[in-house]
Amino acid sequence: MKLTQLDLSHNNLSVIPTWALTYLHNLQILHLENNRIDVLRSNTFDETQLNNLQFLYLDNNQLRIIPNLAFNHLRLVVLMLANNRITEIQKMSLPHTLNFLVLRNNLLTQIPYVALNDLKMLQSIDLEGNNITHLLDTNEVTFESEMKVILRNNKIRRLDKNSFRSFRKIRELDISYNQIQTIEDSSFETVGHMQSLDLSYNKIAYLPRGMLKNFAKTLKTLKLAENMVHATPEALRDLRNLTHLNLNGNKLNRIDGDVLRGCKDTLVELFIANNYLENIPHGVLSGMKQLEHLDISKNKIMTLKKPSSLLSITTDENSSVRRLNLAGNRINNMSDVHIFEHMPFLTYVDVSFNRIRFISPRVFEKLKSLESLFLQNNQMTHFPSLFRLEKLRHLMLDNNQIQKIDNFSLADLPKLQHLSLAGNQIDLITENMFGSSSSSELKSLNLAHNKIYTISSRSFSDLDNLQQLRLSHNNIRTIPSMTFANLKNLRYLDLSHNRIIKILPSALYQLPALDVLHLDQNNLNEIDRDAFRSFGDLQTFKLSHNAFRRFSCEFLGSITQIHQLDLSSNQINEIDVSCIARGLRKLSLASNSVEKIHRKLLQDATELVSIDISHNGIIDVDSDAFAECRKLADVKLSHNYIRNLWKGTFQYQVGLSFLSVLKEFSFQEKLHSLDISFKIVDSSQLTSFGNLSVLSFANNKVDSIEDGAFENLLSLKILDLSNNPVTSWSPTAFRDLSHSISSINMANTGLFSMPKFSHRSIQSLNISCNKIYELSERDLAPLTKLVALDISHNNLKQVSPLAFEPLIHLKQLNISANPITHLTNDHIQQLYQLYNIPDMARPYQISSILSNLPPLHTIYVDIKEPVLDRQFYTADTRLLRHLVVFGKNMTQLDVGAFATVRGFKVRIEVHNSSIQEFPTRIFETLTGISILSLSLTDNKLTTFNPFQTATAPVVNQHGTILHSLELQNNPINCDCQFKWVDEFIRVTSLLSDHHKSQDFDKVECADSQSSNLESFASAANELFSYRKKTTLLSKSDDFDVECAVKFSRHNSLFLSIIVSIFLLIL
């Protein structure tokens, strides 16, 4: 047998085992990634006969230098060296046959020209994520062959005539995510051929003419997104064959059609989103015969009326555009029926997130090819009249103010498959609303988040192909008979979050394909035995958060099989599921009133894999309760009153991998089989759980961990011992711990020193909140695979400068709340893969420390200064997605405090400070963020309005969407400044499953404590604290009335003054 592939990855190799590779003549692929190889000798492969080796993977090791002749004798095609510590690649170290070289995430400060000199076959070099700050050329090296060069995510600041002098042909050049501010016109003077150039996410304001002229005829794709370009770049005048141009996220206020003249015949995609365009000059699209995709979203366009129509072209030609995106502008109506007159090929139109109140019935009439129309998040009050759109398949009208849908509104949409009307004001579903043979193609209908209280029988009876129906978050109280009847293709029905108290007979009738039924978050305490008739098998049935006190098979009607049944958060103390037991695979009874688990409950449940009976009042579990559940793998019995689990309780569960039996136990000295509340942990108590993969003793009263306590848990992956008063630790407690172990949590367990581990598979270790006073390189040496380390809240006064050196994979480090006296660059220079640094910089110069760290994903910082202004300017924030700032001394936020933060989705938190104001102008500086989550809890804020210059949920002219907002524990004055709350909740309710209203219901009004006491009853309520606290959510209901009254008073006063003055003049 000829060995062609060998995988030695994820071991602890410190050198390449060449002695084992000597005679593998036919080996083609060799995996050595994720080891500890730190040295590569010049003669490493000299004695091997790897003549056919083509693919060599050495990623995620500790290599620093690639010496002369290291790979020279091999015939490699692909060489992977990503995520090492390489600072130098010497001459003649690489093989002449190399096609693809990956050096991503190393420490190189330059392109290794000399090492690449003789690689005539090289097609691609990837240098992403190194430390290159300036591109220097060398007169000795010239690359004649065409190649792909990736330099993204470095620290390059400028491009000049020497930057690419060694290159002649570049297929693709990616220099995005750098810090480029200046580009000279001679930067590419030696490059005669290039197909794609990506300069996105830099700080470029100007591209000089002539910069691209050498490859003006070959350049197909140019990306300039997220820069600082103010005018259509002059460099584009030279281009002749450009097909894709991306100018998203700049500062353009106009498009110069003359600059784009040279590529009008070839341009296929034009992206100008996230700019400051108010209109496009007449005729810009004229002559763009190949243009198919035009994105002008998130600009300042207010009208589409002629003569300033964005889409105006000459009257004797038609546009070829197929996809048009106008979302996120300021368009208030579409009354001009000629808007799309010369765009007959449109298949996709997006005008969502505008301010549209009116749409002319004939606007879309000539778009015979239109397939997708997005109108969500506007201000329409009526369902739009859409005539003769015979190919329309997708129609989105979410988050408008539509109150009514006329009967047969879909009559002219015969091919409509997906209709979404969520987040409107619809209160009634009539029998003919969707009644028409032309609606028969509809597959998905979303009516969630409306005000529906009545559904007529057979409202959906004509929807033969309907597969998904969403009616959640409405006001439905009763489901009439035949409401959901004869829908033979319906697979998903969601009626959750209503007020349903009754389901009438045959309400759900003849639904043979139904897989998922959601009735959770209602007021059901019983279900009519004839409610479910002629049913098939259900995959998922959710009945959680209702009012059931008992649950029996009679509630299930003709349902004979359910795979997943959720009955959690009811008041059930009596249950019978025997009629569906044989097919049951997952059962949740959490948060009920069950007192005992009898064998009868799970009798015949032979397919059961997971059961959750946590948060009940269970005192006892029969020893044979799970006897027939041999496939059981996940059992949750936590938060009950169980004293024992009898011997043999889980003797038949050979595949049991997760067992949770935490909290609320009585304690006893003598144990039968397993009692997670016991005080001493030794191996004899865990002998029956060889297949257990997750074990948690958290929040108990364990005070002793004995020698080899976990030696019998051969499959253990996650161990949680946190929050126990351990006073006795055996030095060999973790002897013979499972080789699969990946996560250990020993937070708050009384440790005085670092535990001894010999298992290199551990990836997450939490030893926070202990009394550890010393940390050395010897303590962490075995933990080479560690990704996350939390040693916060200990007694560390000093940390060895070499302590973190072995942790080459470390990405999350928390050493906050320690009495450390000093922290130098020597401590952190090894952490080149770190992306999460919680509160690491607490007692130090934050700017200095952040400047020496690689691009971070998460930063937690305690600010000691009174003002947060430029602390993050020196940090490399290219990859920052989560920033947490706190500090009692902080009283002010500078407008530019977060100006350097960029990313598609970012979360910013400011907590526990003394700031009284969050300047609205901060939002204008967040031009690099598309979706923002903002948390401002535990501060001194009295008012807050993020929408002074924009309309919810958009917070700035750039189009940044405020996805979520938290304001709890502030002295908020609930006044007219918060009129925006209702609208914000409405338009963001569909952005996630999280209910935004809950956040504002937690924000208490500071002024509610000083309310006037109008009666004795209110005084008593005040005195005895019976009065319900006023929250921002409850108060918001009165804003419209109160603010309207104030406005009218203001106007009346103003009018009175005017009249008085007029009379005086007379």
Smallest CA-to-CA distance from 181 within 207, 163, 214 is with 207
Instruction: Specify the amino acid at residue 666.
Output: S
Listed in sequence order, the residues at least 6 apart from 39 whose beta carbon sits closer than 8 Å to its beta carbon are 14, 15, 63
Q: Is the peptide bond before 953 cis (omega within 30 degrees of 0)?
A: yes
Smallest CA-to-CA distance from 242 within 275, 213, 273, 209 is with 213
What count of other Cβ atoms lies within 10 Å of the Cβ of residue 731? Answer: 10
Exposed, middle or buried, 689 (CB in 10 Å: 0-12/13-18/19+)? buried
Sign, CA torsion 516/519/525/528: negative
Q: Which positions of the chain have pLDDT values less than 70?
A: 1, 280-283, 305-316, 436-438, 644-645, 647, 654-690, 823-854, 989-998, 1007-1029, 1032-1066
Report whether 420 contacts 395 (CB < 8 A). Answer: yes
Q: Would you call 115 helix, strand, or coil by DSSP? A: helix
Separation of alpha carbons 527 and 559, rounded Å: 13
Listed in sequence order, the residues at least 6 apart from 1025 whose beta carbon sits closer than 8 Å to its beta carbon are none
Separation of alpha carbons 89 and 519, rounded Å: 63
Sign, CA torsion 359/361/364/370: positive
Exposed, middle or buried, 819 (CB in 10 Å: 0-12/13-18/19+)? exposed
Residue 572 lies in a domain: no
| Dihedral angle over CA of 630, 631, 636, 640, nearest 10 | -20
Listed in sequence order, the residues at least 6 apart from 485 whose beta carbon sits closer than 8 Å to its beta carbon are 458, 461, 506, 508, 509, 510, 511
Smallest CA-to-CA distance from 929 within 895, 882, 968 is with 882
H/E segment holding residue 996 = helix 996-1001
Listed in sequence order, the residues at least 6 apart from 788 whose beta carbon sits closer than 8 Å to its beta carbon are 763, 764, 765, 766, 810, 811, 812, 813, 836
Smallest CA-to-CA distance from 508 within 522, 497, 498, 494 is with 494
- Number of domains the chain is built from: 1
Separation of alpha carbons 998 and 1003, rounded Å: 9
Residue 856 lies in a domain: no
Residue 994 lies in a domain: yes
What is the residue range of 1019's domain? 973-1066
What does the pLDDT read at residue 775?
Answer: 82
